[in-house]
Amino acid sequence: MQFSEFGEKISKKSGIKSLMDDLGQAMSVNRDMKMLGGGNPAHIPEVQKLLRKGMIDILNDGTCFEECVGNYDAPQGNHAFITEFVKFLRNDYGWDVTEENVALTNGSQSAFFALFNIFAGRFRDGSYKKILLPLAPEYIGYSDVGISEEELFVSVKPEIEFLEDNLFKYHIDFDRLVFDETIGAACVSRPTNPTGNVLSDYETGRLVELTKEKGIPLIIDNAYGTPFPNIVFTDVKPYWGENIITCFSLSKLGLPGVRTGIIVGPREVIDLVCQINAVMNLAPGSVGAVLAADLVKTGEIVSISRNVIEPYYRSKMEFAVSKLREHLAGLDFFIHKPEGAIFLWIWFRGLKITSHELYEKLKKRGVLIVSGHYFFPGLQEDWQHSRECIRLTYSQNNEAVESGIEIIADEVRKYL
């Protein structure tokens, strides 16, 4: 069979496809694999109990259940959820939004497919615009969402600050950022997947002003951020403004299977997202929105994020960091300062093999990590650092995390 240019592009091996294949294999087939590579959230008992109760309430309410699974929502998504979510943003955060500023999608990944192809790619005047990623490394799932074969992203190397206790931190190098006519939008994840970096309010505020001056949107990927699921270990505030598009998700709250993303942005952007929903899906799925609507209405979505989810992941992060320091002692390694999300980003300075080769060797030993080279889409220059880093998740049980770290350390010692 012959494929279109899009078909040929999408058929190529991608980092996100590899990651999800590994995740599915580990979760359903090879359960002995130590899964330190995927982004699946932990099954937190208190959260699972709350979500299970919500599902039982839906099943016991015949009308709610029938409407949830038996009716299409509008392309914008479940109206009841959107109404409660807008009230929440207005009352708790003072955001000047209405229902016209919100749309649901089948997960954040589809949201970014829509947004990136709305603002970047080929334009009618023949120009080609890109998405600026101000802080590389960035999320692996962005890399392959462009429709055309041409590179959809441009990113720049960060500034690196070395800290005590084998820690380091990336900062945006504002002197290297170029907002010219080739940039259609800028995007940041906050907290950043893969590194756990959290852009400061100063950095975020400056990006807001720079993009506003250029008349382009700033897209903020808030999948791990505040106010929910609030996997953030430092004080930050959420942002809203006329040129800001914020993307929320229910996945890391504990609902990855229902695939519910939430976009808050200008009305004209929301209208376009609704058009794409209609064309691609008819409508977003309803289950996640119905399940979460009451959590938003009562405020439980915030309280459980602050009081259960954040402390749970903070404890697991501290455990994993302590085990990395213990087992990697004496090696030339650095951990990015963990400020949020569910990952640790490890830099093995001077690694004698590539991070992808390390991934393959660890996979044979029953440990899955993600090679760091996937997280630098649009970087204009070759950078050895990008092949010396790995991402690992600490969301699995502590025994599996420590066992995996021991194997990683044993393997890495051969190449440092």
Q: What CA–CA distance (Å, rounded) separates 324 from 78?
A: 44
Handedness of CA 352, 413, 335, 137 (dihedral sign): positive
Q: What CA–CA distance (Å, rounded) separates 151 from 128?
A: 10
The pTM of this model reads 0.93
In this predicted structure, the answer to whether residue 28 has a pLDDT above a threshold of 60 is: no
Q: How far is CA 272 from the centre of its chain?
A: 22
What confidence tier does 129 reach under pLDDT thresholds 50, 70, 90?
Answer: very high
DSSP 282-309: SS--SHHHHHHHHHHHHTHHHHHIIIII
DSSP 85-151: HHHHHHHHH-----GGGEEEESSHHHHHHHHHHHHSEE-TTS-EEEEEESSSS--GGGTT--SSSS-
Residue type, 15: G
Q: What CA–CA distance (Å, rounded) separates 246 from 97?
A: 12
**Token duo for residue 162:** 């070395």
In this predicted structure, the answer to whether residue 45 has a pLDDT above a threshold of 60 is: yes
pLDDT at 32: 76
pLDDT of 369-390, one tens digit each?
999 999 999 998 899 999 999 9
pLDDT of 91-115, one tens digit each?
999 999 999 999 999 999 999 999 9
Span 9-37, mean pLDDT? 67
Specify whether the CB–CB gap between 342 and 38 falls below 8 A.
no
Judged by average pLDDT, the poorest of 29-38, 136-145, 225-234, 386-395 is 29-38
Q: What percent of the chain has pLDDT over 90?
A: 83
pLDDT at 66: 87
Specify whether the CB–CB gap between 392 and 408 falls below 8 A.
yes
Domains and CATH numbers, the chain: 5-43+306-412 (3.90.1150.10), 48-302 (3.40.640.10)
How many residues are listed for the chain in this entry?
416
Angle, helix 267-281 to helix 108-119, in steps of 10 degrees: 120
Q: What percent of the chain has pLDDT over 70?
A: 95
Phi and psi at 401, nearest 5°, equal: -65, -50
In this predicted structure, the answer to whether residue 235 has a pLDDT above a threshold of 80 is: yes
In this predicted structure, the answer to whether residue 26 has a pLDDT above a threshold of 60 is: no
3-class DSSP state of 261: strand
Span 153-166, mean pLDDT? 96
For 316, the enclosing helix (H) or strand (E) is helix 310-327
